[in-house]
Amino acid sequence: MEIKKDTHWRTFMETPFIHADELPKEGIVVTIKEVDQTEVYSRKLGKKEWVKIAIFNEIKKPMIFTNRKNAQLEEIMGTGKIAEWIGKPFLLYGVNEKHGGKFGNVLNIKAAEPPKPKEKPVLNEKSANWQKAVESLKSGATTVEQIKKSYTLDPITEKKMLTLEKAK
């Protein structure tokens, strides 16, 4: 079996829950598909305990809900109601922090970046829709402000269009 140099042992050993070391450096935007519970062995308690887990659409391994993660989710989701977290995107990423006297990569949560708005096409005399826009302005069917909602106008083009709009 060939093992790449960048293979983390958590990935290699197929641990049951997602860990920060398994995520890409920039993190991953995830959505909760469902919430469940499972029994795990607690070293702290020295026995098995039931934990709540988040099952994701984007990754195979679930995440154990902890008080810290729940507080982060409540803050970014705007609600503490878990049912309202389902289907809403957030960024799951690793951060190097000190826990139990040791530094390690731990899961952290923050709001996902909102999708970037699409860039509007540029409208000028060379554009395919230029003549149609000019005719609409001359007839009074549209205004320069309405055109600017769908197109980017450079200052010179905007000035020409405003002149056409006033001439109607």
pLDDT digits (tens, 9 = 90+) for 26-53: 999 999 999 999 999 988 889 999 999 9
Residue span of the structural domain in which 65 resides: 9-111
Whether residue 55 contacts residue 17, with contact meaning beta carbons closer than 8 Å, is answered with no
DSSP state of 123: -
Residues with Cβ within 8 Å of 50's Cβ and at least 6 positions away in sequence, in order, are 37, 38, 39
- First-to-last CA distance in the chain? 77
Same domain, 106 and 136: no
Q: How many domains does the chain have?
A: 2
**57, part of any domain:** yes
Report if residue 51 sits inside a domain.
yes
Task: Report the largest interatomic distance among the alpha carbons of the chain, rounded to a whole angstrom.
Answer: 84
**pLDDT(105) > 70:** yes
Q: Are 104 and 140 contained in the same domain?
A: no
On whether both 45 and 86 belong to a single domain, the answer is: yes
Provide the whole-model pTM: 0.61
Is the dihedral angle over the CA atoms 85, 91, 61, 21 positive or is it negative? Answer: negative
